[in-house]
Amino acid sequence: MNSDLKNRIYSAQCFGNIEPVEFMVPYPNIFSLVEGQNVKYKDALLYKDLSITNKEFLDLTNRAASWLTSIGGKPESRIFLPSLPFPYSEIMAFAIWNLGGTVVLTDDEYPPKRKDFECLNLISLEVDIKRELSKSNPDFIPKFRSNLLDEALILLEKDNGIQLSHYSLLVNANGVKISLGLQRGSSVKVNMSPNTTAWVVLQAILPFYTGTDITHEKADTTFGLPEQFENPDYLIQPEWTSIEKTDPPTLYLLSENGGILSINDEPIHLTNFKIYNKKLVISGHSVMMGYINDAKNETCFRENSLI
């Protein structure tokens, strides 16, 4: 990537005169969320239906990081995460971040074979992950710690891929927290497939960021995909052609903006957007690092925005 394109992407990631390097979140990387919750709230429930606490989740992610390392996972490696039964996708995602790697997501069962992209395919759907974790070392010591601007996630699409940093995902989750006012100790009902940036933000990261617990039963707050749940508090809208005010409020998804673009017509914290000449123009701290195809980046990043 040439320096001019890097500068254009950086300009699109600014929120007015607030540059992304000012880091408007209190965490050095995504995995530090788990460690932070275990300082004061280790016995708090994380997954209510399974009676898994923050402490038990940390233990599982350490075991998973040990297991991934034993089968070829390395710091700064890109590791494909297949769709696993809940909560193993969440455990493996944080394990990948624990060892300093990048989570790779796609709609397919296997990562696509592409000349312009390579990743490790270590997590077999045939493996009994619960059994492997029970045998693995719970005292994992990472050799590398990611920084906020390091790559955390790649969402592979049919003809391209979206690259997101630790900061982009964390600041997106922070924006959702600020907009919704979720309270520590409250419960959240959400059940998304682990193949989108919205799953990463709403189901993986947000519980740690807000101190809420996840349940698939009755909850204080329910996020529902179209026709998924009856009377959700918030509607998750992956596909849309217009942004408007609805009841219940709609979370409009956009992977290029780290997961969530707006709640109804209000952009989340540290995000700006407008519709100009029928095109969506975005800027702010959640804006992606770029597509993995620089040719597309050249056309999309201009005028201090992502268009």
The CATH number for 237's domain is: 3.40.50.12780
Task: Examine residue 12 and state whether it is found in any structural domain, yes or no.
Answer: no
Task: Examine residue 179 and state whether it is found in any structural domain, yes or no.
Answer: yes
Residue with tokens 């592409």: 114
The answer to whether 298 touches 5, Cβ cutoff 8 Å, is: yes
- Residue 52 belongs to domain spanning: 26-306
At 158 the pLDDT is: 78
Residue with tokens 């933000």: 201
**Is the Cα torsion angle 260, 266, 267, 268 positive or negative in sign?**
negative
Query: Taking the CB of residue 86, how many other CB atoms lie within 10 A of it?
Result: 16
Q: How far apart are CA 234 and CA 253, in angstroms?
A: 12
Q: How far apart are CA 85 and CA 65, in angstroms?
A: 18
Q: Omega before 87 cis (within 30°)?
A: yes
- If pLDDT is split at 50, 70 and 90, which confidence band does 111 have? confident
**Residue 52 scores a pLDDT above 90:** yes
At 55 the pLDDT is: 98
Task: Examine residue 36 and state whether it is found in any structural domain, yes or no.
Answer: yes
Count the domains in the chain.
1
Task: Examine residue 220 and state whether it is found in any structural domain, yes or no.
Answer: yes
- If pLDDT is split at 50, 70 and 90, which confidence band does 159 have? confident
Instruction: Read off the pLDDT of residues 176-213 as tens digits, 9 standing for 90 and up.
Output: 999 998 999 999 999 999 999 999 999 999 999 999 99
**Is the Cα torsion angle 171, 24, 21, 119 positive or negative in sign?**
negative
Kindly list the distances between the CA atom of residue 223 and the CA atoms of 4, 163, 238, 252, in Å, as whole numbers in the listed order: 40, 25, 12, 12
The answer to whether 118 touches 102, Cβ cutoff 8 Å, is: no
Q: How far apart are CA 154 and CA 151, in angstroms?
A: 8
**Is the Cα torsion angle 266, 272, 275, 276 positive or negative in sign?**
positive
**Is the Cα torsion angle 101, 104, 109, 110 positive or negative in sign?**
negative
The DSSP 8-state label assigned to residue 201 in this structure reads: I
Task: Examine residue 60 and state whether it is found in any structural domain, yes or no.
Answer: yes
As a whole number, mean pLDDT of residues 7-23 equals: 93
Task: Examine residue 17 and state whether it is found in any structural domain, yes or no.
Answer: no
At 183 the pLDDT is: 93
Instruction: Read off the pLDDT of residues 116-144 as tens digits, 9 standing for 90 and up.
Output: 788 999 999 999 999 999 999 999 999 99
The answer to whether 64 touches 136, Cβ cutoff 8 Å, is: yes
**Is the Cα torsion angle 37, 259, 190, 231 positive or negative in sign?**
positive
Kindly list the distances between the CA atom of residue 280 and the CA atoms of 219, 241, 256, in Å, as whole numbers in the listed order: 34, 10, 11
CA nearest to 197, candidates 101, 78, 286:
286
Average per-residue pLDDT for the chain: 94
**Residue 1 scores a pLDDT above 80:** no
DSSP labels for 177-233? HHHHTPPTT-EEE----SSSHHIIIIIIIHHHHHT-EEESSS-SEEEE-TTTSSS-S
Task: Examine residue 231 and state whether it is found in any structural domain, yes or no.
Answer: yes
Task: Examine residue 158 and state whether it is found in any structural domain, yes or no.
Answer: yes
CA nearest to 205, candidates 29, 53, 73:
29
One-letter amino acid identity for 66? S
The answer to whether 18 touches 24, Cβ cutoff 8 Å, is: yes
